[in-house]
Protein backbone atom coordinates (compact mmCIF):
# COMPACT_ATOMS: atom_id res chain seq x y z
CA UNK A 1 0.00 0.00 0.00
CA UNK A 2 2.84 2.40 0.84
CA UNK A 3 4.41 1.91 -2.59
CA UNK A 4 1.08 2.60 -4.27
CA UNK A 5 0.64 5.85 -2.33
CA UNK A 6 4.15 7.03 -3.23
CA UNK A 7 3.63 6.02 -6.88
CA UNK A 8 0.34 7.91 -7.16
CA UNK A 9 1.81 10.99 -5.49
CA UNK A 10 4.93 10.89 -7.66
CA UNK A 11 2.82 10.60 -10.80
CA UNK A 12 0.78 13.65 -9.85
CA UNK A 13 3.86 15.62 -8.83
CA UNK A 14 5.69 14.65 -12.00
CA UNK A 15 2.69 15.68 -14.11
CA UNK A 16 2.60 19.08 -12.42
CA UNK A 17 6.37 19.44 -12.86
CA UNK A 18 6.03 18.79 -16.59
CA UNK A 19 3.18 21.31 -16.86
CA UNK A 20 5.03 24.04 -14.94
CA UNK A 21 8.28 23.45 -16.85
CA UNK A 22 6.48 23.71 -20.20
CA UNK A 23 4.65 26.84 -19.10
CA UNK A 24 7.88 28.43 -17.85
CA UNK A 25 9.70 27.65 -21.08
CA UNK A 26 7.03 29.62 -22.96
CA UNK A 27 7.02 32.55 -20.53
CA UNK A 28 10.70 32.99 -19.72
CA UNK A 29 13.90 33.09 -21.78
CA UNK A 30 15.24 29.64 -22.64
CA UNK A 31 18.86 30.36 -21.68
CA UNK A 32 18.13 29.67 -18.00
CA UNK A 33 16.20 26.70 -16.52
CA UNK A 34 13.44 28.72 -14.84
CA UNK A 35 10.99 25.79 -14.83
CA UNK A 36 13.28 23.68 -12.67
CA UNK A 37 13.86 26.59 -10.34
CA UNK A 38 10.11 27.16 -9.99
CA UNK A 39 9.21 23.55 -9.24
CA UNK A 40 12.07 23.16 -6.76
CA UNK A 41 10.98 26.29 -4.86
CA UNK A 42 7.30 25.31 -5.00
CA UNK A 43 8.01 21.74 -3.90
CA UNK A 44 10.04 22.99 -0.96
CA UNK A 45 7.27 25.36 0.08
CA UNK A 46 4.66 22.60 -0.15
CA UNK A 47 6.83 20.13 1.77
CA UNK A 48 7.47 22.74 4.47
CA UNK A 49 3.74 23.42 4.83
CA UNK A 50 3.02 19.70 5.03
CA UNK A 51 5.61 19.11 7.74
CA UNK A 52 5.42 22.32 9.78
CA UNK A 53 1.74 23.08 9.23
CA UNK A 54 0.21 19.64 9.38
CA UNK A 55 2.63 16.98 10.61
CA UNK A 56 3.95 18.96 13.58
CA UNK A 57 0.33 19.48 14.66
CA UNK A 58 -0.38 15.78 14.08
CA UNK A 59 -2.94 16.59 11.36
CA UNK A 60 -1.23 14.48 8.70
CA UNK A 61 -1.57 10.70 8.66
CA UNK A 62 1.39 8.52 7.75
CA UNK A 63 -0.39 7.61 4.50
CA UNK A 64 -0.80 11.29 3.56
CA UNK A 65 2.87 11.94 4.39
CA UNK A 66 3.81 9.19 1.96
CA UNK A 67 1.38 10.34 -0.74
CA UNK A 68 2.09 14.07 -0.51
CA UNK A 69 5.55 14.39 1.05
CA UNK A 70 7.48 11.50 -0.42
CA UNK A 71 5.41 10.95 -3.57
CA UNK A 72 4.02 14.30 -4.71
CA UNK A 73 6.88 16.55 -3.54
CA UNK A 74 9.44 13.97 -4.65
CA UNK A 75 7.84 13.81 -8.10
CA UNK A 76 7.47 17.58 -8.31
CA UNK A 77 11.02 18.58 -7.40
CA UNK A 78 13.84 17.89 -9.79
CA UNK A 79 17.25 17.58 -8.26
CA UNK A 80 18.46 15.30 -11.02
CA UNK A 81 17.19 17.71 -13.68
CA UNK A 82 18.77 20.60 -11.82
CA UNK A 83 22.09 18.73 -11.79
CA UNK A 84 21.93 17.90 -15.49
CA UNK A 85 21.03 21.48 -16.43
CA UNK A 86 23.90 22.80 -14.32
CA UNK A 87 26.38 20.44 -15.97
CA UNK A 88 25.06 21.42 -19.41
CA UNK A 89 25.54 25.09 -18.57
CA UNK A 90 29.10 24.35 -17.46
CA UNK A 91 29.80 22.34 -20.63
CA UNK A 92 28.53 25.30 -22.66
CA UNK A 93 30.92 27.54 -20.67
CA UNK A 94 27.96 29.44 -19.23
CA UNK A 95 29.71 29.69 -15.87
CA UNK A 96 27.70 32.66 -14.64
CA UNK A 97 24.39 30.92 -15.36
CA UNK A 98 25.64 27.65 -13.85
CA UNK A 99 26.63 29.43 -10.65
CA UNK A 100 23.38 31.39 -10.65
CA UNK A 101 21.42 28.15 -11.12
CA UNK A 102 23.16 26.53 -8.14
CA UNK A 103 22.77 29.62 -5.95
CA UNK A 104 19.12 30.31 -6.82
CA UNK A 105 18.01 26.70 -6.43
CA UNK A 106 19.71 26.48 -3.06
CA UNK A 107 18.37 29.81 -1.81
CA UNK A 108 14.80 29.40 -3.11
CA UNK A 109 14.40 25.86 -1.78
CA UNK A 110 15.72 26.86 1.64
CA UNK A 111 13.52 29.96 1.54
CA UNK A 112 10.51 27.82 0.61
CA UNK A 113 10.98 25.56 3.61
CA UNK A 114 11.65 28.53 5.92
CA UNK A 115 8.66 30.49 4.57
CA UNK A 116 6.44 27.48 5.20
CA UNK A 117 7.79 27.27 8.74
CA UNK A 118 7.01 30.97 9.34
CA UNK A 119 3.54 30.75 7.76
CA UNK A 120 2.53 27.72 9.79
CA UNK A 121 3.72 29.01 13.15
| pLDDT for the residue 29 | 84
Confidence of residue 56 (pLDDT cuts 50, 70, 90): confident
| 98, 86 Cβ separation under 8 angstroms | yes
Q: Which residues contact 121 (CB under 8 A, 6 or more apart)?
A: 52
Confidence of residue 121 (pLDDT cuts 50, 70, 90): confident
30 DSSP 8-state letter = T
Query: What are the residue boundaries of the structural domains of the chain, listed by start?
Result: 2-120
| 108, 44 Cβ separation under 8 angstroms | yes
The model's pTM is 0.84
Coil/strand/helix, residue 50: helix
**pLDDT per residue as tens digits for the range 75-109:** 999 887 899 899 999 999 999 999 999 999 999 99
Q: Which residues contact 45 (CB under 8 A, 6 or more apart)?
A: 112, 113, 115, 116
Amino acid sequence: MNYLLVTIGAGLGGGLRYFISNLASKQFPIYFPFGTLLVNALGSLILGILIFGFDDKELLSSNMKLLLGVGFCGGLTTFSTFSLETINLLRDTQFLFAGLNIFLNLITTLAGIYLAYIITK
